[in-house]
Amino acid sequence: MTVSALLRPRALRPGDLVVIASLSSPLPAAYEPNIERTAVILERMGFRVRRAPLLEAERHRWWSAATPAEIAAELNGLLRDPEVRAIVASDGGQTVFGYLDLIDLDAIRSDPKPILGYSDISLLHLALHARTGLVGFHADMAVPGFGSAWQTVSPARRAELSQLYSRLLTSTDPIGPLPTSPTWECWRPGRAEGHLIGGVINRIALVQATPYALPLDRFNGAILFWEELGGLASYVWSYLHVLRHSGILDRIAGMIVGVPRDITGLDETLTLAEIVLDVLGNRPIPVLGNVDIGHAGPNLPMPLGISAALDADQRTLSLLEPAVGP
């Protein structure tokens, strides 16, 4: 698959229906208010909002909202429903691997729609991008994102994010520069332009061991973005070496690393930047670190497959293409 094979969803319009769905984890009753807050945010963007049936408080099967087959059936119903114009995941989790082979890819090809989410949902983005070219929206979800992290920032920042997400979903013009943050750090200087590929680093590594792996040439000239939650610093080091052994690190043009969260072993004696640069060795690619993507707070959207410009020296990142089409 080449970059020209991108499958962009149709741009949303005022009044379009957005569905919040359980694509992985169950919904604890304590997080019911997060769903309600998410609905308010999406409605203020001008959309209608509906909950999918499996998004029911305390409904679960093991660590999931339902069985993989049930989740896939609900997702396929949303993909086939012409009234549904976008899908927002309620949360991440550990379930997407269980139903990758049950997704109606023809429904995606015939009517591509934005699917928003990160964490376990980044696996969905990677697999669907590999199989169909679908632009995946590595972006905030309902429970940890819109309904929680967005509530911890200032009203001005919330308004900025709301405008950014609205443009992302509705505009056929490029977003351009993303709002920067003082946390951004230049870990290796340089500039690069390329299409965005990424997600949670463990999902990037694991999906490459399945039939849903991205062809290696999809990483040619790409800007790889990744983040991680939990586990050990040594795990991150190992995942990066998996990407090195697979040849991915030799193909990319740049790297964006999200703010780490709850990774054991990172402290003043060992930083994430040191781990990254240790594995990269002398590969002369720019690295921008501590960018607001992933589990550490409100997410800047990273649309898979969309061209971006990275300037590590200036600590800037711009989206050069729209994520949606006419």
Looking at 154, 170, 186, the residue that finishes a domain is 170
Which residue matches tokens 């790297």? 255
Domain coverage including residue 45:
3-170
Phi, psi (5° rounding) for residue 289? Answer: -110, 165
- 203 and 166 part of one domain: no
Number of domains in the chain: 2
Report the pLDDT averaged over residues 129-152.
97
Indicate whether 105 belongs to any domain: yes
Rounded Cα distance, 305 and 35, in Å: 29
Pairing of strands 223-227, 254-258: parallel
Looking at 118, 142, 170, the residue that finishes a domain is 170
Burial class (CB in 10 A: 0-12, 13-18, 19+), 2: exposed
- Among candidate residues 22, 295, 307, 321, the one labeled active-site is 295
Contact call for residues 135 and 7 (beta carbons, < 8 A): yes
Report the pLDDT averaged over residues 63-69.
97
Does 3 have pLDDT greater than 80?
A: no
- Among candidate residues 119, 122, 148, 307, the one labeled active-site is 119
Model pTM score: 0.96
- 32 and 81 part of one domain: yes
- 65 and 204 part of one domain: no
> Tens of pLDDT along 283-302?
999 999 999 998 988 999 99
> Tens of pLDDT along 213-242?
999 999 999 999 999 999 999 999 999 999
Rounded Cα distance, 144 and 300, in Å: 14
Contact call for residues 195 and 3 (beta carbons, < 8 A): yes
Average pLDDT, the chain: 96
- 21 and 149 part of one domain: yes
- 297 and 221 part of one domain: yes
Contact call for residues 102 and 112 (beta carbons, < 8 A): no
- 127 and 31 part of one domain: yes
- Split at pLDDT 50, 70, 90, the class of 2 is very low
The enclosing domain of 142 has a CATH number of 3.40.50.10740
Report the pLDDT averaged over residues 121-146.
98
159 three-class SS: helix
- 157 and 193 part of one domain: no
- 124 and 230 part of one domain: no
Indicate whether 229 belongs to any domain: yes
> Tens of pLDDT along 96-132?
999 999 999 999 999 999 999 999 999 999 999 999 9
Contact call for residues 197 and 221 (beta carbons, < 8 A): no
Closest C-alpha among 87, 84, 91 to residue 27: 91
Does 135 have pLDDT greater than 90?
A: yes
CA 48 to centroid of chain Cα atoms: 23
- List all residues 6 or more positions away from 97 whose beta carbon is below 8 Å from its beta carbon: 123, 206, 210
Q: At 206, list the tokens.
A: 């694991």
Rounded Cα distance, 120 and 251, in Å: 25
Residues in the chain: 326
User: 295 catalytic, yes or no?
Assistant: yes
Indicate whether 326 belongs to any domain: no
The enclosing domain of 217 has a CATH number of 3.50.30.60
- Among candidate residues 24, 25, 138, 227, the one labeled active-site is 227
Give me the sign of the Cα torsion angle 112, 296, 152, 302.
Answer: negative
Closest C-alpha among 227, 225, 306, 304 to residue 260: 227
- 36 and 130 part of one domain: yes
Rounded Cα distance, 50 and 304, in Å: 25
Indicate whether 325 belongs to any domain: no
User: 195 catalytic, yes or no?
Assistant: no
Indicate whether 236 belongs to any domain: yes
Contact call for residues 79 and 53 (beta carbons, < 8 A): no
- 38 and 156 part of one domain: yes
> Tens of pLDDT along 19-61?
999 999 999 999 999 999 999 999 999 999 999 999 999 999 9
Looking at 170, 185, 207, the residue that finishes a domain is 170
309 three-class SS: strand
- Split at pLDDT 50, 70, 90, the class of 5 is confident
> Tens of pLDDT along 171-195?
999 999 999 999 999 999 999 999 9
Does 166 have pLDDT greater than 80?
A: yes
The whole-number pLDDT of residue 296 equals 86
Q: What is the CA radius of gyration of the chain?
A: 18
Does 75 have pLDDT greater than 60?
A: yes
The whole-number pLDDT of residue 4 equals 45
- 301 and 226 part of one domain: yes
Contact call for residues 310 and 286 (beta carbons, < 8 A): yes
Helices (H) and strands (E) in the chain, counts: 8, 14
- List all residues 6 or more positions away from 177 whose beta carbon is below 8 Å from its beta carbon: 316, 317, 318
User: 193 catalytic, yes or no?
Assistant: no
- 20 and 95 part of one domain: yes
